[in-house]
Amino acid sequence: MTVDKKLIMDFFPQAMATFIGTLMAISDGMTYGWTSPMIPYFTSNATHIIVTENDGEWMETINLLGYAAGLPFTILSVDYLGRKMSMIISATLGCLCWVLLLTTMNLKIIFTSRFLAGMAGDMCFVAAPMYIAEISDYRIRGFLSSLIYFMMVVGILIVYCTGTLAPYWVTPAVGIILTASQAVFVWFLPESPYYYVYKNNCEKARKALRKLRSHDDLDQELKGIEQEVEREKTEKGRPQDLIMIKSNRLALFISLILNGGQHFVGISVFLMNLESILDKAGSVHIDSSTASMIFAGTMLISTGIAAVIIDSFGRKFLLISSSFTTGLALLVMSIFFHLQYLGHDVSSVSWIPAACVMVYAATFKVGLGLVPIVMIAEIFPTTVKALGMTVADVFYVLAAIVSIKLYQTLLNYFQIHVPLYVFTVFSFLMILFTVLWIPETKGQTLDDIQLMLKGEKGHHNKSEKSDHIEQGKF
């Protein structure tokens, strides 16, 4: 019991810093899911702003374009201003966006707000995971790194509930409170020790570590950080090093596939179009708006469970099991809509799509939706971490845009079962990719992970090197 209390005391400062640093992720989840309840509101007679269906599609797309446009600002900010200041800038910009949504009566201002919110979200989902990975003890890094996704799902649940059940002003008001809180409280957090060491300020790194650890025995950990950063500095951190150095190239490849795979199994489509998808099923058993709230609640519970078990079961196991069960849920849903398209009477089983959506929500977040953000923050070295994570984040956005456009195109030319079949195929392909390419990073320090990607063994590396690393591929 005494040991447990010591561990809790040691991990508490890191957990508190993670919680404060991820309040913006709740706002970003609200932004991401905002269109699901708001587009029906804007296109109804109750709206205070006239919006067409085409305008509604642009509300989805322009937010994702904002994510992509934030690329150069995010790279410069996290490397030159630091992880902490980047999180403050992200939250401040997010707060401004919610203020605009709360006060405007102009559709163009809504588009502008959605675009800027995308830029804020891009910076948040690069700076915060980077910060968390660099302040965390390797024993709980997976758990703490996964909390940002948990917070994002909290935001999705909030916007589904407030957007459906409360007046329009409630959602932006909640967003303002969350983002303003992060902008204020992050000032009191220590900067990443890795960032200080990278900037040749070891004394500040020691002070930051002292705030993040309850014990005073910091010499060994600080020495390890210094050695890691010093070794990584031999790789100059030029943009071309992301491609020219084999371990960086492997990290980039893994990051792009993990980020792209999330969207090509349909998560953006479901988050932004869930109510319309369930309406197509014609279910009389559950209202689509109620189902959307249950969907978000299921994701939240699933993400919480995954966050607890990720450091026990490992990244690969969660990815494989998540991909398989998500694929099965998509397959059953595809068959339902295909039979409906062929003219079969499926009214007696119209509950199936809603049930599949709940299974999808639970199983997606256990692995496909959680592991990527944890791993991507782990596998890049400090010298190219900002660039690598930002490129991966932009690819995440581009994959989201392409998946939504693919869905809309296939839906318009065919019927809904066709894009759902496509998403099913990608789910099963993710199993193959995980088996062949994903290294296990559970229980390893950031330095050990870099050594593993280079084909070497680290001090905490208890798992076997992946075949593709041993064989020198990439």
Instruction: Give the tens place of pLDDT for each residue, 156-209.
Output: 889 988 988 889 899 999 999 999 999 999 999 999 998 998 888 888 988 988
- Taking only Cα atoms into account, the Rg of the chain, rounded to an integer number of angstroms, comes to 22
Q: What is the mean pLDDT of residues 99-108?
A: 91
> 111 falls in which pLDDT band (50, 70, 90)?
very high
The first and second tokens of residue 376, run together, are: 């991507």
Distance between CA atoms of residues 468 and 155, nearest Å: 38
pLDDT of 153 higher than 90: no
> 3 falls in which pLDDT band (50, 70, 90)?
very low
The first and second tokens of residue 170, run together, are: 């409630």
Per-residue confidence (pLDDT) for residue 22, from 0 to 100: 92
pLDDT of 319 higher than 80: yes
Q: What pTM value is reported for the model? A: 0.74
DSSP sequence for 321-389: HHHHHHHHHHHHHHHHHHHHHTT---GGGTTHHHHHHHHHHHHHHHTTTTHHHHHHHHHS-GGGHHHHH
Name the more confident of 310 and 204. Answer: 204
pLDDT of 247 higher than 60: yes
Distance between CA atoms of residues 54 and 431, nearest Å: 36
Cα dist. 47→38, 279, 352 in Å?
Answer: 9, 21, 32
Q: What is the mean pLDDT of residues 423-442?
A: 89
pLDDT of 237 higher than 70: no
With vertex at residue 453, the alpha carbon angle to CA 448 and CA 457, rounded to the nearest 5 degrees, is 45
Per-residue confidence (pLDDT) for residue 456, from 0 to 100: 67
Distance between CA atoms of residues 225 and 32, nearest Å: 36
DSSP sequence for 262-277: HHHTTHHHHHHHHHHH
Name the more confident of 368 and 464. Answer: 368
Distance of CA 293 to the CA centre of its chain: 20
pLDDT of 147 higher than 90: no
> 461 falls in which pLDDT band (50, 70, 90)?
very low
